[in-house]
Structures are given as structure tokens and as C-alpha cells.
């Protein structure tokens, strides 16, 4: 069984370079099929979710030239909007971006309902409400979303909840609709801005991305472009937390410091040292970290995708911390795994109360989802002794070269395919 085997208790030190943002790349790759001209995307992370998106584009009849691991040239010319979506697309959340992209391009989309991590009910009612407002007829048959419109017309759409997915989907669906669409109460995450910049580089007219209101003036067509994806905020934040967890000293390279402010601020409140420079964040983890409270919120608030990582380090901070999860209702499942390591955490509804302990014990752990999986690896790196983390397919969906990057910081971690590999690793590290 594929698993990470980790010998912890060693401070992680050195430099790590962050890959392109997975969640931006997912939106951008879907949007790239909206033109029949070639689109070159640079700095895409080489992770499984992206491989699934690219395979789906090919299965729909598009062309994907893989220039290297991080660079692709896509042509949406041969795409048949009636055959969208493969089975693996059901396993990733972002498959739903093909609804907005295909509807916006050709007035017809047939896409499986989204999957992704089981961190809550994750409805798509806001996406559907938006598509309908643009004049589309939307129905769900046997787990497939079918959206069609003879003619998309601009609309004024007010989202009931702040949704990253609905914001990106409606930006795509409306960028060739007739007239000016106004999206209100939108998400402001860095990847919203990146997808908007990408669409604008294709000729779209989108203004206001990164604020509460986005205005989109429909254009007749989108065109060829070349675009560099921004660095991944969550991968960067995860490595920042690793410095705190292992009491190490990590310089995280290729970051946009502005995107990391809420994470850096919490690490500082805990007593750690955080230094931002042009495109780096250095975190020095101190030995006596103190409690703090966390509330997850849409950007620029503290990201829900960093909640498992920060909760994990709060387990080792002196005093009582309260973590409130405001975005997804099922995002504390990893706490059972942390308890195996000695963590003292009580969960009631969307609130976790964490009593700091001195140290984790090593344990055999199972990753319940992508970000929690990364948090458990971090816990194992902080614990003396040898731990294992199974179900790592979640982690491979979103972190490029995770084990390799950790080894580059001096961490002892190996991705083992079977028990023989595990024995070899144990013998090697002694």
C-alpha cells in the first residue's frame, strides 16, 4: 500500500521553492478551452488534479501538448461540448469549471457533478443560480449537470454565499455573454484574480476581480495567449507551518507575500519569527509557542485550506486555542488521527478546542483529505520516532514532489509502495 514513512523529530531547515497554484491552474485550464486558438500555460503544478483536468480536455476532443512537466499548450478547437467529462473528473472538485467554460463558449455543457475532498456538503446551487440568470436552462440527470442556452445574456447576480467555485464559473460563463454582467458578493481569493487575469489576457473584459464586485463586459470571442500561473498560497503556507511544527528555519521561495499575510500573522502571534521579502517568506519556529485563536474566513481571512495545518501546530503550543471552521462543516475529521499521537482536541460542531501538549508520539495515520493529509505528515515530522501516513493519493492530488521537497529541508520521509520499501527505509535510517 502506497504510504509515506516518516522519521520525525528533526528540525526542517533550508529553502523550498513553491509550485504554481493548483486551484488557479484548475480554473485556468478549464478556461483555456474557451478559444479555438492555442493557449500556452506556464508554471502549472505537476500534481494529479491537473493531470486529470488535462486528460479530460483530451477526452473531450481538445489537444494538449505537454511541453514539460509545468508547461502545456492547449487547443480547445476539437472540443465537443456534448461529451464532456470522464469518470476521473468526478473525483475532483474543479471538474465543474467545464460547465462555465463550455456554456460560455458554445451554449451547451454536459459535465458530471463535482467530487473532491469530503469536507462538507459542497452544494453548487450558487453556480446554477448564476447560469440560470444568464439565461441557461440547467438540470441534473443521473449525476450529470446539463446546461444549455440559445443565447447567453448579461445579468446582475448577487451570490448568497461567498463561493470561489461559483465566482470563477460565472466569470467564465459570462465573458462572451451579451452585455455587462455584474457579480456581487464574490470570492476574492488570489486564484480568482489569476483566472480573471488569464481570461483578460485572452481578450475578456473583466474588472474588479479581488474586490466584492466583478464587472464583465461580454466580448464576441476569446483568443490565443501565453500565461504564467501564480505561486500556490496553500503550499507556501503549509511549508511555513512546517518550520513552526519542527522548530526549524525554512525560507519559502517563489511566493507572493501579500497572499500569506493571514498565515504569517498567526505564526507570529504564536511567537514564531516570520520575515517576508520580495518573493520569499522565512519562518523560524521557536521552542515555546503559545496558543492563539483561529477563525477561517474567505480571503483575506484565514484560509480554510490552512486550518488542519495550523490546528496541528496549535496542538504543540502552550495553552488553550480555539479553532472555528466557518467554511466547511466536515473539516475536523483528521483530529481523530492527531489524537492517536496524543493531541488533546475536543470538537463540538464547527469548533475545535485545543489544549497544548509537549510533543506528539509517532503513530500510524490515515489521510482523510488533501490538506489534512499534509497536516498529518507535518505532525509526523514533529514527532520523535517513525510514523506512517496512508491514503496519500489525496496529498498527491495537490502537493507537487511533497516528499522530495521535505527531504530537501532535511526531513526523513519516503514514499513507499509496499512493505519491502518500508523495511528498506527503516534499515537505512536506523
- Which of these ranges, 116-124, 149-157, 178-186, 347-355, lies near ligand UD1 under the rule CB under 6 A? 116-124
User: Which of 127, 148, 247, 397 is the binder for ligand UD1 (CB under 6 A)?
Assistant: 127
Query: Does residue 175 have an active-site annotation?
Result: no
User: Residue from 9, 61, 115, 120 that binds ligand UD1 (CB under 6 A)?
Assistant: 120
* 18: contact with ligand UD1 by CB under 6 A: no
Query: What are the phi and psi torsion angles at 255 (to 5°)?
Result: -125, 165
- According to the binding rule CB under 6 A, does residue 312 interact with ligand UD1? no
- Long-range Cβ pairs for the range 105-108 (8 Å, 24+): 105/33, 105/34, 105/76, 105/79, 105/81, 105/176, 106/81, 107/136, 107/148, 107/149, 107/150, 107/151, 107/152, 108/81, 108/82, 108/147, 108/148, 108/149
Residue 128 CA to its chain's centroid (Å): 22
Contact stretch for ligand UD1 (CB under 6 A) within 80-88, 134-142, 159-167, 175-183: 159-167
Strands 385-390 and 3-8: antiparallel
Alpha-carbon distance of 419 to 3, in angstroms, equals 10
> With respect to ligand UD1, which residue has the nearer C-beta, 3 or 307?
307
Contact mark string toward ligand UD1, 289..308, x via CB under 6 A: ---------------xx---
The yes or no reply on residue 309 touching ligand UD1 (CB under 6 A) is no
The answer to whether 327 contacts ligand UD1 (rule: CB under 6 A) is yes
Q: Which residue has the cell 523560524?
A: 284
Is residue 179 within the footprint of ligand UD1 (CB under 6 A)?
no
Are the beta carbons of 399 and 238 closer than 8 angstroms?
yes
The stretch among 29-37, 53-61, 118-126, 244-252 that binds ligand UD1 (CB under 6 A) is 118-126
CA distance 133 to 173: 11
Residues in contact with ligand UD1, total (CB under 6 A)? 22
Q: How far is the CB of 150 from ligand UD1 (least distance, A)?
A: 24
CA dist 343 and 335 (Å) reads 8
Could you give the CA distance from residue 307 to residue 286 in angstroms, rounded to a whole number? 20
Any idea which residues carry the catalytic annotation? 117
Q: Which residues bind ligand UD1 (CB under 6 A)?
A: 23, 26, 93-94, 120-127, 161, 163-166, 187, 304-305, 327-328
Amino acid at each position: 500500500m502506497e504510504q509515506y514513512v516518516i522519521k520525525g523529530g528533526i528540525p526542517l531547515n533550508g529553502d523550498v521553492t513553491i509550485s504554481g497554484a493548483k486551484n488557479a491552474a484548475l480554473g485556468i485550464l478549464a478556461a483555456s478551452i474557451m478559444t479555438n486558438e492555442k493557449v500556452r500555460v506556464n508554471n502549472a503544478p505537476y500534481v494529479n488534479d491537473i493531470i486529470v483536468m488535462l486528460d479530460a480536455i483530451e477526452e473531450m476532443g481538445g489537444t494538449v501538448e505537454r511541453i514539460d512537466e509545468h508547461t502545456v499548450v492547449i487547443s480547445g478547437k476539437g472540443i465537443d461540448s456534448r461529451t464532456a467529462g470522464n469518470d476521473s473528473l468526478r473525483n475532483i472538485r474543479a471538474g465543474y469549471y467545464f460547465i462555465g467554460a463550455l456554456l460560455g463558449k458554445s451554449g451547451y455543457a454536459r459535465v458530471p457533478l463535482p467530487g473532491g475532498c469530503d469536507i462538507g456538503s459542497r452544494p453548487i446551487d450558487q453556480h446554477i443560480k448564476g447560469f440560470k440568470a444568464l439565461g441557461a436552462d440547467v438540470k441534473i440527470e443521473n449525476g450529470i449537470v446539463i446546461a444549455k442556452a440559445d443565447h447567453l445574456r448579461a445579468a446582475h447576480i448577487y451570490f448568497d454565499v461567498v463561493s470561489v467555485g461559483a465566482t470563477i464559473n460565472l466569470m467564465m460563463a459570462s465573458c462572451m455573454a451579451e452585455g455587462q454582467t455584474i457579480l456581487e458578493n464574490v470570492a476574492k481569493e488570489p486564484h480568482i484574480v489569476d483566472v480573471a487575469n488569464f481570461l483578460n489576457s485572452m481578450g475578456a473584459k473583466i474588472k474588479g476581480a479581488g474586490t466584492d464586485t466583478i464587472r464583465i463586459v461580454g466580448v464576441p470571442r476569446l483568443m490565443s495567449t501565453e500565461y504564467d500561473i501564480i505561486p500556490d498560497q496553500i503550499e507556501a503556507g503549509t511549508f511555513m507551518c512546517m518550520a513552526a511544527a519542527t522548530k526549524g528555519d525554512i525560507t519559502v521561495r517563489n511566493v507572493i507575500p501579500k497572499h500569506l499575510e493571514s498565515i504569517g500573522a498567526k505564526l507570529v502571534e504564536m511567537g514564531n519569527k516570520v520575515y517576508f521579502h520580495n518573493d520569499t517568506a522565512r519562518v523560524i519556529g521557536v521552542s515555546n509557542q503559545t496558543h492563539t485563536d483561529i477563525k477561517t474566513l474567505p480571503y483575506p481571512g484565514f484560509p480554510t485550506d490552512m486550518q488542519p495545518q495550523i490546528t496541528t501546530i496549535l496542538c504543540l503550543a502552550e495553552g488553550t486555542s480555539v479553532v472555528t471552521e466557518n467554511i466547511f462543516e466536515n473539516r475536523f475529521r483528521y483530529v481523530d488521527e492527531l489524537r492517536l499521537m496524543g493531541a488533546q482536541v475536543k470538537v463540538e460542531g464547527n469548533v475545535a478546542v485545543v489544549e497544548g501538549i509537549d510533543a506528539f508520539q509517532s503513530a500510524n495515520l490515515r489521510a482523510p483529505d488533501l490538506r489534512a493529509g499534509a497536516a498529518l505528515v507535518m505532525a509526523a515530522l514533529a514527532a520523535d520516532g517513525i510514523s506512517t501516513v496512508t491514503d496519500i493519493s489525496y496529498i498527491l492530488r495537490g502537493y507537487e514532489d511533497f516528499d522530495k521537497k521535505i527531504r530537501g529541508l532535511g526531513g526523513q520521509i519516503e514514499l513507499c509502495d509496499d512493505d519491502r520499501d518500508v523495511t528498506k527505509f527503516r534499515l537505512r535510517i536506523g
